[in-house]
Structure formats: C-alpha cells, structure tokens
C-alpha cells in the first residue's frame, strides 16, 4: 500500500487509554492503526517518537469576525491561529455580516470561509425570533452545527446585527425578546433535534444595576462586576432549564462563569433533562484579582468572576457537568480595548491558547491526557453529532490529529499569536506541554509552531 501519511512511533491517546501504534492515512481518512504495517511507502512520514497523538482537537466557540469586522480578525488568520494551537476543527458563531439567519446566508458564509480555512469548520445558525422562525428548519437541513440565541440582546431592525447595552431610546432596534417569544424559539428548535445554545445573562437586571451604579463602574473592575452579578447568569439559566423541560429541546449553556450556574446545570442533569454546558479558559485560569495585573484585555462577557466561581467550575469540569472547554475567541484591536470598562468591547483572542493552557494542567497533575482527549475532542464531536468522523482515532475516521510534546516548555507571547489581533490575557503565561503538529484531513498544516500548508479545511456538518 502506498500511504499518504504515516505517523509512527507515537503514543495514541483516547478518552480511556494511551497505547503505542502507528497511524496510516489514505485519502484523508485513517486507514490502519497498527505496528505491523510497512512504514516505508508514504508521501509524508512523521516520526512521533516521545510524542502523543490525540484525536484532532475541536474549538466549538469561535468568532472570527468574517464577514463583518475583519479589521479585528478574519477567517484566514483565525484558522491559522487554530492550527498553531493544535485545533483541527472550529465551529464559527453566526453573528457575522450577513448573519447566518437563513439558508442563503449560510451558503454565502460557506463560500466565503472555505477559501480561507486552514482547519475544518462548522457553522452555527442564529435565532432571531419571529424574524427567522420560518428559516430554522431549512437551516437545520442545510447543515448548521447548532443554533444560538443571544439571550437579552436587542437586534438591528435592518441588518439583524446584535445591539449591545440596549436602551429604550435606540432607533431602528428590536428590543430583547420577552419570555413568550423565547419559548417559541425553544419549541421550534426542539423540532430539529439540534442543540439550542444560549448566552445566559439577564439584560433587565444588568441594565437596572448599571443605571444605579452609574459612572462608578467605569474604572473599577470589582464595581463593574456588580453591574453583571452572578444572579444575571443564574436567573437566565433557571428560566432556560424550565423551558427546556417543557419543550424537550437539547439546551446548551455557553461559557458558564458562575458557581450558581454549575449547580443549576448539575441538578437538571441529575434529573435526566437534556442540559449540557461549556466553559472557557478565562473562567478556569483567571479571577477578578487578575484584573490589576492584566487590565482591560481580560474584559469578556460573561465577566470573569471570583475564586469561588473558578473552583466550582473546575469541579464541574472534573465531575462531567461541563461537557467540554472552548475558547470563545472574539478578538478586538488593542486601540478598541483602551477606555472605560463600561464602554470598551468584551472579548479577546483564545483559539491559539486554548489547548496549550489545558495541556499545561496535565503537566501540573490536575488533568490527564485522556481527559484532554475527552474535553477538547471526543465530547464535542459526540455532542454536535460529528462522531465518529471526528473526535476519535479509529479506522474510517477523518485523519484529523493533534501531536503533543509534553516536554516542551515555552511562554505564551502576544507578539507570536497568529490572529490579526494580539489582545490576550495570557501574555507571559508559562506552559509545559504544547501541540507541535496539527494534521488536518491527513495533511500537516502546522509543525513546530509554523503554518506550512493551507488553506485546506472543509465544511463539517452533523451526521444524519
């Protein structure tokens, strides 16, 4: 057999075991896993001696700003950053321009992103209430990876773009939906069988407290935290779980940031309701105390909270309440991140640092490589119905692989990030254990931190 690519002498990591074997790739698929096959005939041979071979890592929550605000980021750069960080598949959020609110825009976005993709990608569809209820079934059939509802956000009447910090005096803006309209969204998505993911913050509570505190939250992070309290997440999750119980929809809570959120989700899961959740590195590795050192670059919504929340979220990761960890990569320019806390945009780079930060926890003894394979590959693949094409190393699966050197030590440096924006909260973080090779569809895209191939990523849609 003339193979396209052989990875030899590596240690293969699954969610339950680590074992030595060679991986043989043909036509973008894993064709054999063995120590018996000849390893001489291949277009590309990777010697993974001393390295670990993981199923290709997946980042389910990425905002690449393309189309739209491409001065901050674009898909060419975000997917290079993904590959540099060991990610082989990303799921792109739908609040772009045009937004992914109907089938025509879905296909426009696929065409736009395909020619820039260094890794594989799936597309989320957006829920805009009565504005696109009639389009949700068709988006489901077209192949969106899931549906997202930005709870509490207003919508521009003409462009359908999200409007932040809504107030009654805004023109040409549709106010945030009431519970009845949201319930209709839940019922419609339940018919598709796909996931409904929500950004869980109570806009009315946030606006009310913000008015009370006024300018006092402009420059002090702890005061700013009072304007977006844990209660804002707790109230929204409570309501969402009740609606999920009533409709049977698969409810997914995005970027969980509070202990209260974890407790509610765990209780619902224990009762057998189809509720899942994710969190992000900023909630696992940062607290409010870090603002003094990092500054406005760590502003992200939901806000990074307190040590007690961080500890409870880690417990949720360890006990399975949290299904997976993702980046919520949402870059802004350095200039945009200068100003008052209440007015600068929320978001930062994350897709390139997600895997190194999590793998470092293996070096520290908190996690195992098997857990990394679960949290960053197998679990998201299963939850988004792309398993076993993705998320596992087995014959017949797509040849997406992430090779990790657990002995490599390095420092995260903002200047080295591959995104257009370099805004990160992790500049100067020491990491031991790095992705050193990213293989997408059987082809090496990144090696030793350098992008060497691409674009070559493909659209990912759920398996029927």
Query: Which CATH number characterizes residue 202's domain?
Result: 3.20.20.140
Give the per-residue pLDDT at 442.
98
State yes or no: pLDDT of 199 exceeds 80. Answer: yes
> In three state form, how does the secondary structure of the chain look?
CCEEEEEEEEEEECCCCEEEEEEEEECCEEEEEECCCCCCCEEEEEECCCCEEEECEEEEEECCCCCCCCCCCCHHHHHHHHHHCCEEEEEECCCCCCCCCCHHHHHHHHHHHHCCCCCEEEEEEECCHHHCHHHHHHHHHHCCCEEEEECCCEEECCCCCEECCCCCCCCCEECCCCHHHHHHHHHHHHHHCCEEEEECCCHHHHHHHHHHHHHHHCCCHHHHHHHCCHHHHHHHHHHHHHHHHHHCCEEEECCCCCHHHHHHHHHHHHCCCCEEEEECHHHHHCCHHHHHHHHHHHCCCCCCCCHHHHHHHHHHHHHCCCCEECCCECCCCCCCCCCCCCCCCCCCCCCCCHHHHHHHHHHCCCCCHHHHHHHHHHHHHHHCCCCCCCCCCCCCCECCEEEEEEEEEEECCHHHCCCCCCCCCCCCCEEEEEEEEEEECCEEEEECCEECCCCCCCECCCCC
Give the per-residue pLDDT at 10.
98
pLDDT tens-place string over residues 377-386: 999 999 999 9
Between 400 and 153, the higher pLDDT residue: 400
State yes or no: pLDDT of 169 exceeds 80. Answer: no
Give the mean model confidence (pLDDT) for residues 435-458.
Answer: 97
Q: Does residue 21 lie within any of the structural domains?
A: no
Give the mean model confidence (pLDDT) for residues 161-170.
Answer: 74
State yes or no: pLDDT of 161 exceeds 90. Answer: no
Q: Does residue 198 lie within any of the structural domains?
A: yes
Q: Does residue 357 lie within any of the structural domains?
A: yes
Mean pLDDT of the chain, nearest integer: 95
Give the mean model confidence (pLDDT) for residues 169-180.
Answer: 85
Give the per-residue pLDDT at 5.
97
Residue 56 to residue 53: CA distance in whole angstroms: 9
pLDDT confidence bin for 170, thresholds 50/70/90: confident
CA nearest to 292, candidates 243, 341, 358 = 341
Give the per-residue pLDDT at 189.
98
CA dihedral 451→416→13→453, nearest 10 degrees, is 0
Quote the percentage of the chain above a pLDDT of 70. 100
Residue 319, domain extent: 56-392+408-430
Helices 259-270, 230-247: inter-axial angle, 10-degree rounding: 20
Give the per-residue pLDDT at 259.
98
Buried b (16+ CB within 10 A) or exposed e, 38-57: ebeebeeebebeebbbbbbb
Q: In what order do the strands lie in the sheet with 87-92?
A: 57-62, 87-92, 120-126, 146-150, 195-199, 250-253, 275-279, 324-325
Give the per-residue pLDDT at 213.
93
pLDDT confidence bin for 198, thresholds 50/70/90: very high
325 close to 280: Cβ distance less than 8 angstroms:
yes
Q: Does residue 440 lie within any of the structural domains?
A: no
Task: Tell the burial category of 293 from Cβ atoms under 10 Å away from its Cβ (0-12, 13-18, 19+).
Answer: exposed
**pTM (two decimals):** 0.97
Give the mean model confidence (pLDDT) for residues 23-32.
Answer: 97
Q: Considering only 121-130, 161-170, 246-255, 370-379, which range has the smallest mean pLDDT?
A: 161-170
Which structure tokens are listed for 266? 């765990």
Give the mean model confidence (pLDDT) for residues 172-193.
Answer: 93
Q: How many domains does the chain have?
A: 1
pLDDT confidence bin for 19, thresholds 50/70/90: very high
pLDDT tens-place string over residues 305-328: 999 999 999 999 999 999 999 999
Give the mean model confidence (pLDDT) for residues 348-358.
Answer: 98
Integer angstrom CA distances of residue 125 from 167, 193, 241, 320, 385: 26, 14, 21, 26, 15
CA 113, 461, 243, 183 torsion: positive or negative?
Answer: positive
Quote the percentage of the chain above a pLDDT of 90. 89
Give the per-residue pLDDT at 154.
82
Give the per-residue pLDDT at 406.
98
Q: Does residue 450 lie within any of the structural domains?
A: no
Residue 464 to residue 451: CA distance in whole angstroms: 33
Distance of CA 169 to the CA centre of its chain: 34
Give the mean model confidence (pLDDT) for residues 205-210.
Answer: 93
Q: Does residue 363 lie within any of the structural domains?
A: yes
Q: Does residue 286 lie within any of the structural domains?
A: yes
Between 284 and 214, the higher pLDDT residue: 284
State yes or no: pLDDT of 432 exceeds 80. Answer: yes
Give the mean model confidence (pLDDT) for residues 389-411.
Answer: 98
Q: Does residue 48 lie within any of the structural domains?
A: no
pLDDT confidence bin for 37, thresholds 50/70/90: confident
CA atoms in the 13 A half-sphere facing the CB of 330? 21
């Amino acid at each position: 057999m003339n193979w396209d690519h052989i990875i030899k002498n590596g240690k293969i990591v699954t969610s339950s075991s680590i074992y030595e074997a060679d991986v043989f790739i043909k036509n973008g698929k894993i064709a054999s896993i063995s120590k018996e096959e000849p390893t001489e005939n291949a277009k590309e041979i990777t010697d993974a001696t001393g390295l670990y071979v993981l199923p290709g890592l997946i980042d389910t929550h990425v905002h690449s700003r393309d189309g739209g605000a491409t001065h901050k980021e674009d898909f060419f750069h975000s997917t290079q950053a993904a590959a540099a960080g060991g990610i082989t598949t990303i799921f792109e959020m739908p609040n772009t321009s045009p937004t992914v609110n109907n089938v025509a825009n879905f296909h426009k976005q696929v065409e736009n992103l395909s020619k820039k993709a260094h890794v594989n990608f799936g597309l989320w569809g957006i829920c805009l209430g009565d504005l696109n209820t009639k389009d949700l079934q068709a988006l489901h059939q077209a192949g969106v990876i899931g549906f997202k509802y930005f709870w509490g956000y207003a919508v521009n009447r003409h462009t359908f773009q999200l409007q932040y910090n809504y107030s009654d005096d805004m023109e040409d803006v549709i106010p945030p939906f009431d519970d009845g309209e949201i319930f209709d969204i839940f019922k419609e998505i339940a018919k598709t069988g796909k996931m409904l993911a929500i950004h869980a913050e109570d806009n009315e509570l946030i606006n009310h407290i913000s008015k009370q505190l006024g300018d006092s939250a402009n420059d002090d992070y702890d005061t700013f935290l009072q304007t977006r309290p844990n209660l804002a997440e707790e109230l929204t999750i409570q309501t969402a779980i009740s609606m999920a119980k009533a409709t049977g929809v698969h409810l997914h809570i995005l970027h969980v940031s509070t202990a209260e959120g974890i407790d509610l989700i765990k209780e619902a899961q224990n009762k057998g309701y189809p509720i899942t959740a994710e969190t992000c590195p900023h909630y696992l590795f940062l607290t409010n105390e870090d603002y003094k050192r990092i500054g406005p670059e760590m502003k992200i919504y939901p806000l990074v909270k307190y040590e007690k929340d961080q500890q409870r979220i880690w417990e949720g990761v360890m006990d399975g309440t949290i299904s997976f960890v993702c980046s919520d990569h949402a870059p802004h320019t350095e200039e945009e991140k200068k100003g008052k806390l209440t007015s600068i945009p929320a978001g930062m780079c994350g897709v390139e640092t997600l895997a190194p930060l999590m793998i470092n926890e293996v070096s520290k003894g908190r996690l195992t490589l098997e857990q990394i394979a679960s949290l960053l590959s197998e679990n998201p693949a299963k939850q988004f119905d792309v398993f076993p094409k993705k998320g596992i190393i087995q014959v017949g699966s797509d040849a997406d692989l992430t090779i990790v050197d657990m002995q490599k030590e390095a420092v995260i440096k903002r200047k080295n990030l591959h995104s257009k924006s370099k805004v990160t909260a992790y500049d100067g973080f020491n990491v031991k254990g790095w992705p050193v090779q990213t293989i997408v569809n059987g082809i090496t895209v990144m090696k030793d931190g350098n992008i060497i191939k691409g674009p070559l990523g493909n659209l990912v849609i759920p398996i029927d």
